[in-house]
Amino acid sequence: MKNVKLAGSYYELGTHLGKMIQGKLHLPEADAKKLEWAAGCEDAMEEFTPGLLEELQGISDAANLDKARLNAIILYDQSYIKSFSTASDQHCTVFTVPGKHSESGKPVMARNYDWSTEVKEYFTMHYISPQNKMRNVLFTDHYVGGFGGVNETGLACGCATAAYYNGDLKPGIMLSMAIRWILDSFKNVEKAVKFLEKVPLCEGNIYLLADRSGMSARVEATPYKVFTTFAQDEFLIATNHFQSEEMKDLENQITDANAHTTLTRLEGISNWYKSQKKPISIDSIKSILRDHKYGVCDHIKGVIYTENGDRKEEDLVSTLYSWIAILGNDELEVCAGSPCKNDFRSKAIFT
Ligand SMILES: [Zn+2]
């Protein structure tokens, strides 16, 4: 997993990123549909995440790339638009352990990120210090935005796609941008939830938030409806389906044929939590992140053919990385690669 340090105004953060891709990115032509989508997202970003729009400007200026076509990639191609037809490759898991049940006495967020193994080489920890905002660590494979992390106040955010969401997608604030803005901007769960409930969201996703006060929230979100479950000193989990009755009409029925592991992961982690007889250690959390029985650590195999024509079976989708954050601590436990095969390492949050 790579590390990138970013500090300065939003425009300066963008120019840093732009210099990294200068000369390396060939921009394809963007059709009218993509350009229109990106323009709709830009309008929403101007109102709700203006700094991130400045960052996009900084990237296109520094990389000398056409802004409209670059934004079509970042805001359309890198959204989940193409992924909603299948739940088979969406297996993320995130949960929070309350401080009253953790060995450290502090709340913990733990997260497995599952996705196509094609993108694993791009995963990066962004250490971000936006001017006049909150320092944070963001896990990402995108130029701007990401899929979870923690900020200097101890606010953590993770996510899982709502793989069975059955409604339309809309231009607005995409998942990766929402998470980045939350970590840049907010000190606690309530403020982050207010943001998610206010902005026009693009996709169906489940956000999990926790702060060091012991407050946590599961935000089940779509462009049409957002439902939040708050918890104080309680255990919360997000897998890839809506758990609230209020959101059930916004997702397809989960059947044996399409369930994959979203139900078993929820059940397995709930059982693990209930079975804990003593304060929960980081080692115990690592053990459930490595679990194969319920599919928490997942490996979806497929056949590929090498350049020589040899038939080979390998992971097509798997748990690409994991992290564990004790909220209020200065270190994260990070596992680059599947946690069943790789070790966690302590990483300083702010370097
Ligand atoms: Zn595994």
* pLDDT tens, residue order, the chain (351 aa): 899 999 999 999 999 999 999 988 888 888 999 999 999 999 999 999 999 999 999 999 999 999 999 999 899 987 776 555 565 678 999 999 999 999 999 999 999 999 888 888 889 999 999 999 999 999 998 889 999 999 999 999 999 999 999 999 999 999 999 999 999 999 999 999 999 999 999 999 999 999 999 999 999 999 999 999 999 999 999 999 999 999 999 999 999 888 899 999 999 999 999 999 999 999 999 999 999 999 999 998 888 888 888 898 988 888 999 999 999 999 999 999 999 999 999 999 876
3-state secondary structure of 80: coil
Instruction: Give the Å distance between the CA of 117 and the centre of ligand 1.
Output: 13
pTM: 0.95
Instruction: Give the Å distance between the CA of 281 and the centre of ligand 1.
Output: 20
Instruction: Give the Å distance between the CA of 108 and the centre of ligand 1.
Output: 22
Of 104, 83, 108, give the one whose Cα is nearest residue 94.
108
Instruction: Give the Å distance between the CA of 299 and the centre of ligand 1.
Output: 6
The domains of the chain are located at: 2-77, 90-348
Superfamily name with CATH number, domain 90-348: Penicillin V Acylase; Chain A (3.60.60.10)
For residue 31, what is the enclosing H or E element?
Answer: none
Residue 335's DSSP bridge partners are 322
d(CA 65, CA 128): 23
Residue 173's DSSP bridge partners are 201
